[in-house]
Amino acid sequence: MRIRAREITFAVDFGPAFLKIEAMADAIRIRDLRKDFRLGFVPRTHKILKGITFSVREGEIFGYLGPNGAGKTTTIKCLLDLIRPDAGTIEIFGLSHFAPRSREPLGFLPENPYFYDYLTAREFLAFTADLFGLGRTERDGRIARLLALVGLERAADLPLRKYSRGMLQRAGLAQSLVNDPKLVILDEPLGGLDPLGRKEIRDIIVRFKEEGRTVFFTSHILQDIEMICDRVAIIVGGRIVKEGALRDLVSERVLFTEAVVAGLPPEAFAGIGESVSAQGDRVLIRILDEAKVDEALDLVLRRRGRLLSLSPRTETLEDIFVETVTRT
Ligand SMILES: Nc1ncnc2c1ncn2[C@@H]1O[C@H](COP(=O)(O)OP(=O)(O)O)[C@@H](O)[C@H]1O
Ligand SMILES: [Mg+2]
What is the rounded average pLDDT of the residues 132-158?
94
**pLDDT tier at 21, thresholds 50, 70, 90:** very low
**pLDDT tier at 6, thresholds 50, 70, 90:** very low
Would you give the distance in Å from CA 280 to the centre of its chain? Answer: 41
4-8's contacts with Cβ under 8 Å and 24+ in sequence apart are none
Mutate which of 38, 74, 234 for ligand 1 pocket (most atoms within 8 A of beta carbon): 74
Q: What is the pLDDT of residue 2?
A: 42
pLDDT, tens digit (0-9, with 9 covering 90-100), for 94-117: 999 999 999 999 999 999 888 888
**pLDDT tier at 312, thresholds 50, 70, 90:** confident
* Segments of the chain assigned to CATH 3.40.50.300: 26-249
Tell me: pLDDT of 10 over 50: no
242-264 core/surface letters (b: 16 or more CB in 10 A; e: else): bbeebeebbeeeeebbebebeeb
pLDDT, tens digit (0-9, with 9 covering 90-100), for 210-253: 999 999 999 987 777 878 999 999 999 999 988 998 777 776 67
Decide if 187 contacts 72 (C-beta within 8 A). Answer: yes
Tell me: pLDDT of 128 over 70: yes
Decide if 121 contacts 168 (C-beta within 8 A). Answer: no
Q: 76 in ligand 1 pocket by Cβ < 6 Å?
A: no
What is the rounded average pLDDT of the residues 67-88?
95
Decide if 74 contacts 35 (C-beta within 8 A). Answer: yes
Domain 26-249, second-level architecture: 3-Layer(aba) Sandwich (3.40)
Q: 175 in ligand 1 pocket by Cβ < 6 Å?
A: no
Q: 67 in ligand 1 pocket by Cβ < 6 Å?
A: no
Q: What is the pLDDT of residue 60?
A: 96
What is the rounded average pLDDT of the residues 305-325?
80
Q: 238 in ligand 1 pocket by Cβ < 6 Å?
A: no
Decide if 247 contacts 256 (C-beta within 8 A). Answer: no
- The mean pLDDT of the chain is 88
- Of ligand 1's listed atoms, the one at least distance from the Cα of 68 is 23
* Lowest-confidence pick of 45-49, 134-138, 153-157, 314-318: 314-318
Element (H, E) at 314: strand 306-314
Mutate which of 73, 77, 84, 109 for ligand 1 pocket (most atoms within 8 A of beta carbon): 73
Q: How close is the Cα of 69 to the center of ligand 1, in Å? A: 6
Query: Which fold would CATH assign to domain 254-327?
Result: Alpha-Beta Plaits (3.30.70)
**pTM of structure:** 0.78
* Segments of the chain assigned to CATH 3.30.70.980: 254-327
First-to-last C-alpha distance (Å) of the chain:
68
Q: What is the pLDDT of residue 328?
A: 64
What is the rounded average pLDDT of the residues 134-163?
94
- Pick the residue whose CA is nearest to atom 5 on ligand 1: 37
Tell me: pLDDT of 143 over 50: yes
Residue 132 and residue 104: Cα distance in Å, rounded? 10
Q: What is the pLDDT of residue 327?
A: 67
**pLDDT tier at 5, thresholds 50, 70, 90:** very low
Q: 69 in ligand 1 pocket by Cβ < 6 Å?
A: yes
What is the rounded average pLDDT of the residues 177-191?
95
Decide if 277 contacts 266 (C-beta within 8 A). Answer: yes
Q: What is the pLDDT of residue 24?
A: 64
pLDDT, tens digit (0-9, with 9 covering 90-100), for 205-222: 999 999 999 999 999 877
Q: 55 in ligand 1 pocket by Cβ < 6 Å?
A: no
What is the rounded average pLDDT of the residues 158-162?
95
pLDDT, tens digit (0-9, with 9 covering 90-100), for 259-272: 999 999 999 998 89
